[in-house]
Amino acid sequence: MTEFADKTDGQLVALFGEVMSELRARGVVRSGNNPIADMAERVIADYYGVEPEAPNSKSYDVVAPNGSTIQVKALRRTASSRRNLSALRTLDFDVLAAVVFENDMRLVEAAFVPVAAVRDHMGWSNTWKANRLSLTKRLLTDPRVERVPADQLVAGATGR
């Protein structure tokens, strides 16, 4: 990060804005929000060889070629203990794809969790007033969960 050490806070924020605009122009992200969600959706859509659903789709982000609906959640490992995905407001999808990134945004893997396994492993958050799912060892070793490493995700559609 030494290349940023001589920049002011304002300059770094402006640079972030420029980077976000460029990522949007290139189609890497679809909104001006936190880019990790858009990036995760793109990873899963590319994996299946399809386009992501419209940003306002409530219950799922991608429809696989076989018609399965996929809710995409992203997790950036900002701490070694970080496992919680964002809130699950509905369970109107077939599969949840949890896309994991390192702190520096390098892609690690995706865990494909059928909705039945989501129901078995989720918990209620009074704070969020929604269901929550954590990428615990118990969830990730559930035989219904398929883990796909980064190199297989970026190789393109697999015909699943």
Domains of the chain: 35-153 (3.40.600.30)
Q: Could you give the CA distance from residue 54 to residue 100 in angstroms, rounded to a whole number?
A: 22
Higher pLDDT, 120 or 36: 120
Strands (E), the chain: 62-63, 69-77, 95-102, 107-114, 123-125, 130-132, 146-149
pTM of the full predicted structure? 0.84
- Return the half-sphere exposure (C-beta side, CA atoms, 13 A cut-off) of residue 70: 31
Which CA distances in Å does 134 have to 12, 42, 50, 80, 85?
Answer: 32, 22, 27, 13, 6
| 128-153 pLDDT, tens digit each | 899 999 999 999 999 999 999 999 99
Distance CA 98, CA 75 (A): 7
Instruction: Give residue 159's pLDDT band: very low, low, confident or very high (50, 70, 90).
Output: very low
The length of the chain in residues reads 160
Q: Which of the four pLDDT bands, split at 50, 70 and 90, describes residue 1?
A: low
Model confidence band, residue 2 (pLDDT cutoffs 50, 70, 90): low
Name the token pair of 131. 């269901």
Q: Given this model, what pLDDT does residue 157 score?
A: 46
Q: Which two tokens stand for residue 144?
A: 């219904």
Residue pLDDT, tens place only, 25-71: 888 887 766 788 888 999 999 999 999 998 877 799 999 999 999 99
**DSSP notation for 5-46:** TTS-HHHHHHHHHHHHHHHHHTTS-SSSS-HHHHHHHHHHHH
Under 8 Å between Cβ of 99 and 44? yes
Q: Give the closest residue to 30 by CA, choosing from 68, 57, 63.
A: 57
> Which phi and psi (to 5°) does residue 36 adopt?
-65, -35
pLDDT of residue 155: 65
For the stretch 77-115, pLDDT in tens is: 887 778 999 999 999 999 999 999 998 889 999 999 999
Residue 7 in tokens: 């920049």
- Residue 156's pLDDT band (boundaries 50, 70, 90)? low
